[in-house]
Structure formats: C-alpha cells, structure tokens
Amino acid sequence: MNDRPQMPQRTIRVRRPTAAFPVEGAASEAKVNRPLRGLRVGLRQDTWRSYHALCKWWSEWLARDGAIPVPLLVGERTGELGEKTRNDLKAWAGSIDCAVSGLGT
C-alpha cells in the first residue's frame, strides 16, 4: 500500500526558448571553395567542456575525411599569459586555411 498522498494530475506546457530564425542571408557565412582533403581546419577551444567534446568529434570527422585538424586551446586574456594567448592565436591563424571559432551562441 502506498502511503504517499496522491497529487492531482496537471498538464504542464514546456516552451522552447528558441529565437525566431533571422531572414535568409542575415548572418555572414564563409565558404571554403576547395576539397576538404588536405585542408588545415583550425578548431579554437575555450573553456566550455561541451565545446571540447564537439572539437574532439569534429577533429575525428575532419581527419576521417582527409582534413588536418589544428586545435588551439585558448588561455588567459590579460597580463603576461594574455600576451602568450595573443601570440599563440596569431601563429595559429597563420597556420590554417579556415577555422571554427566557437558556436556563435
């Protein structure tokens, strides 16, 4: 026998916090007009754990399809370590053909 009080059944509405899509072409996009094989694709990683997982998967998929993944773990933004980050970022940008730099969220 269940001694817990019975809760009344109710309907709960869940709304998605999804914004309306912008007009076609409203956001800028970039296209790489060459085959993926041999393309050096930069994957900039910040501190989000979920984005690290995405970069790991993308690296695997890009390599599987012949691209060369070039990850960069971005560090501090200020002080001496910030200077190192800026130098690393500049060198990384000069070594790749294109990049995925965040999710734009």
- What integer pLDDT is reported at residue 27 of this predicted model? 57
The domain total for the chain is 1
Q: What is the pTM of this model?
A: 0.67
- What integer pLDDT is reported at residue 11 of this predicted model? 79
Residue 74 lies in a domain: yes
Residue 85 lies in a domain: yes
Residue 4 lies in a domain: no
**Pair of tokens at residue 36:** 């993926």
Per-residue HEC secondary structure of the chain comes to: CCCCCCCCCCCCCCCCCCCCCCCCCCCCCCCCCCCCCCCEEEEEECCCHHHHHHHHHHHHHHHHCCCEEEEEECCCCCHHHHHHHHHHHHHHHCCCCEEEECCCC
Q: What is the pLDDT of residues 5-34, one digit of tens each?
A: 777 778 777 777 776 766 676 656 778 889
Residue range(s) defining the domain that contains residue 97: 40-101
